[in-house]
Chain A
Amino acid sequence: MSVRFREAWSEFWVSGVSKLGVAFLIALSAISIYVLASYPLDFGLRFWNNPPIWSDNPKASPPVWTSSFVGESLVEHKTFLATEPANVTESVQSRTLTYEFSIDYGYDDFPSFTSFSISNTTFYSRAPQFTLVFERPDNATLNLLREVAPAKRSEEEPPVTRWAAPPRRVYLTGDDRVASAISSFLTRNFKLKLSRDQIINMHPEVPLFGLPEEENKTLSWKVLKGLYRIRVEAQLFDPRDTVGEIKYVLGGSVFGTMGTDSLGRDLAVGLLFGFPVALFIGFVTSTLTTVIGAAGGVASGYLGGKVDLLIQRAADIVYNVPLLPILIFFTFAVGHGLWVIVVVLVAFGWPGLAIIVRSMVLQVRESQFIEAARSLGASRRWIMFRHVFPQVAPFVFSQLIFYTPSAILSEAALSFLGLGDPSIPTWGQILQLGFQSGGVYVGWWWWIVPPGLLIVVTAVTFVFLALGMEPVVNPRLRRMR
């Protein structure tokens, strides 16, 4: 057996497609294992389909590396997080924690938005106060915002926790207080008179990150490059008071390695989750299909008679049912669960294999070693398992590989028609959303090309493996290569 296996392996390993297929398979499995280890199982419901989590991200932004094609440096989306203060100063009745973020701003464009959030502060007596201070490269300093945690109510026992879930999030781009702080800053430093509404309409980030230029009485803004410092000062009035986390988001027009979708979801995260899901669908469906198909084929071919007639008639009919319309109908009528797709794929997938295996078994049945086993008094079940099945096993195994991509492709097709399982994000669903939101017509290629490409790569992996296995399974092909 091991000699046979080694021979088969060397026969398999000769061709280029096999090597490519094995390399791809190792990569796919490694990524899947990484994802399974690092993602929660309910990722789809808890994270992916939970819009608040993604609210800080820019919508439908291309990946960061695209800015090198555009020729100008686009603002990269960045989130600044701090849990520990950079500096603590004490006074008689209070303590001031200073959190500091510095941004080396060298982009040619203004941020698309900025936001700021505070989470999880606890206090004993007076509510903590937060001040957001913005320091520009030209040494101008603005007090943008002041936030005070809601005071302790009389019925509450200290310590009181505020802004635990959800955190206090201020969308600076649309905030009146920020706009009026900027308005007075512009009057003071540049003798410009702009109302709050004007500033909000032009986006407060433009004067905040820019220098005004006046030419022929029209005002324009130039990006002020350099080091910006964002300071958050938290004033606490009891030594036991704490602050959880401070976050400042610089909204960019490019995001991460894969960009975002129209809800601001990080596509890299969703695409990664698709790996184990695709492999799972492929493996489960193809395994069940081949087990049923092979069992049906062996029984049909070896037992003959009425069993054969029944299985072959059933196979003939089921084999002829057009799959996609049935899949659409079932998922529509029964429900969008992943298992519905798997069950239907298996129920209509087995006959092809059963028909071929039967014809192979018909030849095996007549061979002498089967006759020998039979004359020794072996039971039919024993013969089928121990003598007939091993003869067709290599072929069945190659079919197992060959069925895998068709299951993955079918799931993707259903997802594309809007019949995917909503609790489990797949590549097909990401693509469907990209198509449905009109991404093709406005050129959101980073949303549409990668998921399709991943489906192709995964499917091709198994096709290559099956192709490489062909000469092993079908010795006639060996001569021809």
Chain B
Amino acid sequence: MGLARTLTARAITLIAVLILVVLMVVTVLGATGMSDKLLGAIVDERLRAERQSLSQSIRDPDELNRVMEARKLELTRLYGLDVPWYLRLPQMAYRVLALDLGNARALKSFKGSRVISDIVLERLPNTLLLMTSAIAISAVLGLVVGVKIGTHPGTRKDRGLSYFSAISFALPTWWTGILLILICAYSFQMAFGFKLFPAGGMYSSPPPTDPWLRVVDVAYHAALPVITLVVALVGSYTYTARTIVLNVAQEDFVTVARAKGVPEGIVERRYIMRVAAPPILTNIIIGLAGSIGGAILTEAVFNWPGMGTLYYQAILQMDEAVIIALTYIFTLVYVAGRFILEVLYIVLDPRVRY
């Protein structure tokens, strides 16, 4: 009962987030005149296609022009280009939600399609692969290191951690990535004649045909971007874990366990870590938006063929339809990820019924 209510409440908030973002996007699009441009381009594209097919059946050019003129009026009305932008809001919102935004101006999908949804959706798995592996590695590292250090507060390692987490927070993710390229790719190339890790991309060219080698190849290419994201994330994860552990380690049940003579390893794993895990998850939940931002920038630096790199390319090419689609999809990814983590949190921490 409580569980269902909690989850429903979260779901409603998250859906409201999605609606807010979409509304904001279409309002800005309308107010800046961008939606007129966008819909105008879609209408022109359709007219061109229809003209081509009609020119087969209608031979007389005057007749063709007249038919096309009528068709143009029809389409203008259909797309709402004859009314002010605010009356078009619901239609525009639906378009964004359904990713029906026409064609990209210059960008293409890997298979050569110019349809926005094709371009964006085929890159989604690559982004998810990068993000989930980085978050998972950071969470495990944060938990293990946090417990190790949190049980020994005030030591030199503890102070070192607080400095590291401060710097990790202050490091721009993308700059870390650039530095890693400079060190692992460029300097190695100069000093030893080979690159420790590739500077970018996702596959070698040509990619290996054997499926296992392909996995290895992707992992090899993903190493630097994942390290970059982990460096950015692990500081705050570890610091939170350490602070939580510090509080838990002073609890009576831990003292009792130690007094009973429970080995230190078991105390750490079963008594402390179990309690510290949910707050780490909280930290992941809170930091998810930031991780998405980090992933966008990291991809752009490493030319990882995901949605972040697409963002970067779309900005350079001024492709507004792609940017709208990406803003929406990233929000969608965030909302979905957030909901999954909330469910996971409830599974992990039975005390939580809010």
- Kindly state the separation between the CA atoms of A36 and B237 in the bound complex, as whole angstroms: 39
Q: Which of B15-47 contact A (CB under 8 A)?
A: 16-17, 20-21, 24-25, 28-29, 32, 34
One digit per residue, 1 when the CB lies within 8 angstroms of any chain A CB and 0 when it does not, for chain B 158-192 equals: 01001100110111111100110110011100100
Q: Which residue of chain A has its CB nearest to the CB of B250?
A: A480
B330's partner among A16, A325, A405 (CB-CB below 8 A) is: A325
- Chain A residue numbers with a CB within 8 Å of B170 are 405, 409, 455-456, 459-460, 463
- Kindly state the separation between the CA atoms of A379 and B280 in the bound complex, as whole angstroms: 42
Known contacts A322-B330, A452-B175, A455-B175, A333 near B29 by CB under 8 Å: yes
- Chain A residue numbers with a CB within 8 Å of B315 are 328, 332, 417-419
A419, A431, A452 — most chain B CB neighbours (10 Å): A452
Question: How many residues in A have their beta carbons less than 8 Å from beta carbons of B?
Answer: 46
Q: CB of B326 within 8 A of chain A? A: yes
Q: CB of A382 within 8 A of chain B? A: no
Q: Which residue of chain A has its CB nearest to the CB of B183?
A: A445
Q: Which of A264-304 contact B (CB under 8 A)?
A: none
A323, A330, A405, A480 — most chain B CB neighbours (10 Å): A480
Segment at the B interface, from A119-127, A213-221, A435-443:
A435-443
Q: Are A431 and B331 in contact (CB under 8 A)?
A: no
Q: Are B292 and A467 in contact (CB under 8 A)?
A: no
- Kindly state the separation between the CA atoms of A322 and B288 in the bound complex, as whole angstroms: 8
* Contact-size category for B: 35 or more
Q: Are B178 and A463 in contact (CB under 8 A)?
A: no
Taking the closest CB of chain A, its distance from the CB of B11, in whole angstroms, is 12
A contact face: mostly helix, strand, loop, or mixed: helix
Taking the closest CB of chain A, its distance from the CB of B120, in whole angstroms, is 12
Q: Are B172 and A413 in contact (CB under 8 A)?
A: yes
Q: CB of A385 within 8 A of chain B? A: no
Q: Which residue of chain B has its CB nearest to the CB of A332?
A: B323
- Kindly state the separation between the CA atoms of A333 and B331 in the bound complex, as whole angstroms: 17
B172's partner among A320, A455, A464 (CB-CB below 8 A) is: A455
Q: Are B292 and A318 in contact (CB under 8 A)?
A: no
- Kindly state the separation between the CA atoms of A409 and B14 in the bound complex, as whole angstroms: 26
Q: CB of B206 within 8 A of chain A? A: no
A323's partner among B172, B246, B289 (CB-CB below 8 A) is: B289
Q: Are A321 and B178 in contact (CB under 8 A)?
A: no
Q: CB of B92 within 8 A of chain A? A: no
One digit per residue, 1 when the CB lies within 8 angstroms of any chain A CB and 0 when it does not, for chain B 271-298 equals: 0000000000000000011101100110
- Kindly state the separation between the CA atoms of A323 and B334 in the bound complex, as whole angstroms: 11
Q: Are B13 and A317 in contact (CB under 8 A)?
A: yes
One digit per residue, 1 when the CB lies within 8 angstroms of any chain A CB and 0 when it does not, for chain B 291-314 equals: 011001100110000000001100
Q: CB of A416 within 8 A of chain B? A: yes
- Chain B residue numbers with a CB within 8 Å of A452 are 172, 175, 178-179
- Kindly state the separation between the CA atoms of A394 and B323 in the bound complex, as whole angstroms: 41
Known contacts A333-B34, A435-B178, A449-B179, A328 near B166 by CB under 8 Å: no
Instruction: Give the A-binding residues of B (Cβ under 8 A).
Output: 13-14, 16-17, 20-21, 24-25, 28-29, 32, 34, 153-154, 159, 162-163, 166-167, 169-175, 178-179, 181-182, 185-187, 190, 199, 246, 288-290, 292-293, 296-297, 300-301, 311-312, 315-316, 320, 323-324, 326-327, 330-331, 334-335, 338
Q: Which of A211-252 contact B (CB under 8 A)?
A: none
Taking the closest CB of chain A, its distance from the CB of B180, in whole angstroms, is 10
Q: Are A460 and B326 in contact (CB under 8 A)?
A: no
- Chain B residue numbers with a CB within 8 Å of A325 are 292-293, 296, 311, 326-327, 330-331
Taking the closest CB of chain B, its distance from the CB of A452, in whole angstroms, is 4
- Kindly state the separation between the CA atoms of A323 and B171 in the bound complex, as whole angstroms: 18
Q: CB of A7 within 8 A of chain B? A: no
- Chain B residue numbers with a CB within 8 Å of A418 are 312, 315-316
- Chain B residue numbers with a CB within 8 Å of A326 are 21, 24, 327
Taking the closest CB of chain B, its distance from the CB of A438, in whole angstroms, is 11
- Chain B residue numbers with a CB within 8 Å of A448 are 178-179, 182
A463's partner among B169, B190, B293, B320 (CB-CB below 8 A) is: B169
Q: Are B320 and A456 in contact (CB under 8 A)?
A: no
- Kindly state the separation between the CA atoms of A405 and B130 in the bound complex, as whole angstroms: 26
- Chain B residue numbers with a CB within 8 Å of A16 are 159
Instruction: Give the B-binding residues of A (Cβ under 8 A).
Output: 16-17, 316-318, 320-326, 328-330, 332-334, 405, 409, 412-413, 416-419, 428, 431, 435, 440-443, 445, 448-449, 452, 455-456, 459-460, 463-464, 467, 480-481
Extra pairs beyond A334-B32, A448-B178, A456-B175 (13, CB < 8 Å): A316-B13, A321-B21, A326-B327, A333-B320, A405-B170, A416-B172, A417-B300, A440-B182, A441-B181, A448-B179, A456-B170, A456-B172, A480-B153
A-B contact pairs, 8 of them (CB 8 A): A318-B20, A320-B338, A325-B330, A333-B34, A413-B172, A443-B186, A448-B179, A463-B167
A329's partner among B14, B25, B290 (CB-CB below 8 A) is: B25
- Kindly state the separation between the CA atoms of A409 and B172 in the bound complex, as whole angstroms: 6
- Kindly state the separation between the CA atoms of A452 and B187 in the bound complex, as whole angstroms: 18
B293's partner among A323, A333, A419 (CB-CB below 8 A) is: A323
Q: Are B330 and A456 in contact (CB under 8 A)?
A: no
- Kindly state the separation between the CA atoms of A445 and B173 in the bound complex, as whole angstroms: 17
Known contacts A326-B24, A456-B175, A417 near B17 by CB under 8 Å: no
A-B interface, 10 closest residue pairs, ranked by CB to CB distance from nearest: A324-B293, A459-B170, A452-B175, A325-B330, A322-B289, A463-B166, A460-B170, A329-B327, A322-B334, A320-B17
- Kindly state the separation between the CA atoms of A321 and B22 in the bound complex, as whole angstroms: 11
Q: Which residue of chain A has its CB nearest to the CB of B16?
A: A317
Q: Which residue of chain A has its CB nearest to the CB of B170?
A: A459
Q: Are B162 and A412 in contact (CB under 8 A)?
A: no
- Kindly state the separation between the CA atoms of A459 and B166 in the bound complex, as whole angstroms: 9
Q: Are A440 and B32 in contact (CB under 8 A)?
A: no
A435's partner among B32, B288, B301 (CB-CB below 8 A) is: B301
- Chain A residue numbers with a CB within 8 Å of B20 are 317-318, 321
Taking the closest CB of chain B, its distance from the CB of A456, in whole angstroms, is 5
Taking the closest CB of chain A, its distance from the CB of B303, in whole angstroms, is 11
- Kindly state the separation between the CA atoms of A405 and B301 in the bound complex, as whole angstroms: 21
- Chain B residue numbers with a CB within 8 Å of A480 are 153-154, 246
Q: Which residue of chain A has its CB nearest to the CB of B301?
A: A435
B199's partner among A412, A413, A428, A441 (CB-CB below 8 A) is: A441
- Kindly state the separation between the CA atoms of A316 and B286 in the bound complex, as whole angstroms: 12
- Chain A residue numbers with a CB within 8 Å of B326 are 325, 328
- Kindly state the separation between the CA atoms of A442 and B324 in the bound complex, as whole angstroms: 34
Q: Are A320 and B163 in contact (CB under 8 A)?
A: no
- Chain B residue numbers with a CB within 8 Å of A321 are 17, 20-21, 289, 331
Taking the closest CB of chain A, its distance from the CB of B46, in whole angstroms, is 24
Taking the closest CB of chain A, its distance from the CB of B194, in whole angstroms, is 15
Taking the closest CB of chain B, its distance from the CB of A463, in whole angstroms, is 4
- Kindly state the separation between the CA atoms of A76 and B23 in the bound complex, as whole angstroms: 57
A17's partner among B166, B172, B199 (CB-CB below 8 A) is: B166
